[in-house]
Chain A
Amino acid sequence: SAVISQKPSRDICQRGTSLTIQCQVDSQVTMMFWYRQQPGQSLTLIATANQGSEATYESGFVIDKFPISRPNLTFSTLTVSNMSPEDSSIYLCSALDRGVDGYTFGSGTRLTVV
């Protein structure tokens, strides 16, 4: 199955700043997704990253706050903009691997906003 390299693994950021998280997949994948996992909670889908077009956001998430890029079939970025302490979470990217039809996840980015 596909392997995803996600970075940074963790960061501590000042409120009001932005952080860009990167995910690199070792093979071409049809679909990539971004999730948020708040402390003690399960995963919530932020958006589907579409190759060559705008991402599709879930209810409660907007492009101005979480801009996403997906320039090709192996790479995507998520930016957390104008951060506040409420954005402190683990952010995970995921890819749908059509070969095995299962989902693979990156190792996550633990973000703390102070």
Chain B
Amino acid sequence: KQEVTQIPAALSVPEGENLVLNCSFTDSAIYNLQWFRQDPGKGLTSLLLIQSSQREQTSGRLNASLDKSSGRSTLYIAASQPGDSATYLCAVGAAGNKLTFGGGTRVLVKP
């Protein structure tokens, strides 16, 4: 059974600092990995999708890497802003098109 872990569970940084969020998974037989953002009490917003054949994806200040062999993905957010404060979730896609979610990292960017 796939297990997804996100470390740290919470992170507080001053504005302008780079953010590094980690995601690890136990079963490397994945189809893809997707990073989401969730604001309090809201739904999920997709940030980046990495296919199993890819090593990384970039969008603006966001960059996500994937190392299937070691079961790891890292989300980098450059030059953080207070508006980046949210919970970030990684989810692994596998057989049956099912997503398995990590527990999330709650980020606070202080002005």
Contact = CB atoms under 8 A, between A and B. Distances in A.
Interface stretch (B14-22, B63-71, B77-85, B98-106): B98-106
Interface residues of A, number: 24
A114 interface: no
A102 B97 contact: no
B-side interface mostly: strand
A90 interface: yes
B36 A105 contact: yes
Contact of A43 (B41, B45, B89, B93): B89
Interface size class of B (residues with CB under 8 A): 20 to 34
A45 B43 CA distance: 14
A45 B99 contact: yes
Nearest to A1: B46
B34 A42 contact: no
A6 interface: yes
B61 interface: no
B89 A42 contact: yes
Top 10 nearest A-B pairs (CB, nearest first) are: A107-B43, A105-B44, A102-B49, A108-B43, A42-B101, A43-B101, A42-B103, A105-B43, A31-B97, A106-B43
